Amino acid sequence: MNYIMICLDSLRQDHIGAYGGKANTPNMDRFAQQSAVFSRLRSEALPTVPVRRALSTGVRVFPWEERQRPKGIYNRHSGWAPLRESDVTIAEHLLERGYVTAMVIDVYHLMKPAMNFHRGMKSFNFIRGQENDQWKSAPLPPGALDRYVPEDFPERRLQVLTQYLQNQQGLEGEEGRQPARVFSEAMRWLEGNAGQEKFYLWVDSFDPHEPWYVPQEFVDLYDPGYEGKEWIYPNIIPYAEMTEPERDHAKALYKANVTLVDKWLGKFLDKIDELGLRENTLVVLLSDHGKIVGEFGNFGMSNKDSSRFLYDVPLMVRHPEGVGAGERFEQWVYDIDVTATALDVLGEEPLPGIDGQSFWPIITGEQDKLHDYCVCGYSEVACVWQDNLIYVRDDGEHTDALFDAWEDPEQQNDLSEGMPDAKAEMAAHLDELLAGGPH
């Protein structure tokens, strides 16, 4: 059996039609009908790089370990570190067992020289151009930024957006957008390797992560006739300085980008069918984390806002024999469990030292659950999820609180006083993990 893992960065569960979402996603919806669909996937360590470390090894990244940062890695998030020499990745593991392993990716954070995430890949294709990827240096023409930032905007806050727009110069039309380039290259890889005895392909699209640089036809699906500023990178714009139409338009840009990604994902899924690979290929679709899109008076990812909007992401697992197709599962699962499950389905031995557990018995009905709760970390914030509750501890601000994640998604009502026993129990789960206990 082949294995394809597709990760879409910053994709919120509540923007996918199959989850009752806000964006037009016909291809994800179709894929959901063919898949076992999980509603409570949790990445145990956020954001981007910690999640890929966990997916690559099946080993927990949180609690954090102290590690020296290599040259060229400027991100200060805890867990934002290269693979260790001692790590064994799923790619290395499968390569040793005769799989052709490959990566098609535009998540530039993983491809910096020190990071080593392509380890174990027989081939890898890095699609340049995302965000602050230092790819092109030709300056922008005069006025190129005017649509995207306020007048007299501080130059120090323009570096990422400027680099992104420099990278996009010369990439014309929808086919030049990053999702199209990633999935087109992934389709070319499939065409050339469909005849391999068995393969593992990791496709990782940085979109729908901002900047939300989307062809107008997709924007018009959600905010037609808008004539104001295009906040394609709203993280850098003070929320209080945006007008209400500008905020609404920024939300529309995120939806438009989700729909653009869905279109090109659909082309890739169609290519799997066209090449006759559906019958012998396990396909997993997931995201690393969500995105704050106007909630909390914010856009982007603030580790102070450890809410459903960051953690509620999709997980769909399509087995070639249709096991679990169309079924919904509310059990708690971790991203590290995805790695364990894939190896289980492939009939391969677990990775050395793996923390993840296979949830395949949940899909087949042989087991009720894996976890009673989940513990997740994001920089100085840690969360414990249990039933409908989330316990949030912020070591930076020395605060903790308890919320109903479903009834109070923006965390306005602290339940600590009224539910002291529940809070104490969830705090104990976190303390046990931090002390090296079971998880």
pLDDT, tens digit (0-9, with 9 covering 90-100), for 180-231: 999 999 999 999 999 999 999 999 999 999 999 999 999 999 999 999 999 9
Q: Give pLDDT, residue 161.
A: 97
CB contact at 8 A, 12 and 208: no
Q: Give pLDDT, residue 437.
A: 60
Q: What's the burial of 201, exposed, middle or buried (CB within 10 Å: 0-12/13-18/19+)?
A: buried
Q: Give pLDDT, residue 75.
A: 80
Q: Give pLDDT, residue 305.
A: 74
Residues of the chain with pLDDT under 70: 437-439
pTM: 0.96
CB contact at 8 A, 40 and 332: yes
CB contact at 8 A, 407 and 388: yes
Q: Give the residue carrying structure tokens 């500023």.
A: 229
What domains appear along the chain, each with residue ranges and CATH number? 2-368 (3.40.720.10), 380-439 (3.30.1120.10)
CB contact at 8 A, 35 and 325: yes
Q: Give pLDDT, residue 156.
A: 84
Residues in the chain: 439
Q: Give pLDDT, residue 438.
A: 53
